[in-house]
Amino acid sequence: MISSLDVFRPGTGWLVPLEDRLALMDGDVLRVNIAVPYRGPEAEFTLYGSIGQRGFFGFDEILSARATLSCPDSPEKYTTVTGELDIEIIGAGMAGIGGISGGNDYDLYVKIEEKPEVIVEIDDVIDIAGESGGSDLTGMLGMMMPLMMMGMVMPMVSEGTEE
């Protein structure tokens, strides 16, 4: 069902991945190109794609997108229908809330919502550049700590010099 994966990187343009794994970063757009055989009356379906991680309790969706898949009237023979789905990579914000955190081994799946039997999943195909959750807050506190310490020590040092 998935015919190719392309990446749009702002400031660079469209990239064609050369490896089996995709390295993405905040602001990128993952384009999933699909090709499915179709036979039947003219119809519109909804493509649904998600980046996340498969766990013990199922697929944990982190980022997702939808797109329309238009199928032509083809009552007698199968026709290959192509479509595309763009998933915007949104990085995690303050304290890792919202978006996707940096890390390895994210999974991708694409399905047709109206036909639950038409689904494909690729495991461990996406790596997200950046730090894992909480990096914004901990990085900021790490830089502020020396300033706070100086602010506490300076009054103690200056008290002993007054005459």
DSSP string of 10-43? TTTEEE---SSSEEE-TT-EEEEEEEEEEEESSE
The answer to the question of residue 51 being in a domain is yes
pLDDT for the residue numbered 84: 95
Domain boundaries, position 121: 2-133
Q: What is the CATH number of the domain that holds 58?
A: 2.60.40.1930
d(C-alpha 163, C-alpha 159), whole Å: 10
Mean pLDDT, residues 49-70: 93
Q: Pick the residue with more confidence: 14 or 151?
A: 14
Q: How many CB atoms lie within 10 A of CB 97?
A: 12
Q: Let me know: does 102 contact 78? Beta carbons within 8 Å.
A: no
- Residue 145 within a domain: no
The percent of residues in the chain predicted with pLDDT above 70, rounded, is: 79
CA-to-CA dists, residue 131 to 54, 63, 102, 125, 156, angstroms: 21, 17, 5, 18, 38
In a domain, 140, yes or no: no
Rounded distance between C-alpha atoms, residue 84 and residue 93, angstroms: 28
- pLDDT, tens digit, 9 for 90 and up, residues 30-39: 999 999 999 9
Q: How many domains in the chain?
A: 1
The stretch 71-78 carries a mean pLDDT of 93
Does residue 89 contact residue 79 with C-beta atoms inside 8 Å? no
Beta pairing, strands 22-24 & 115-128: parallel
Does residue 19 belong to any structural domain of this protein? Answer: yes
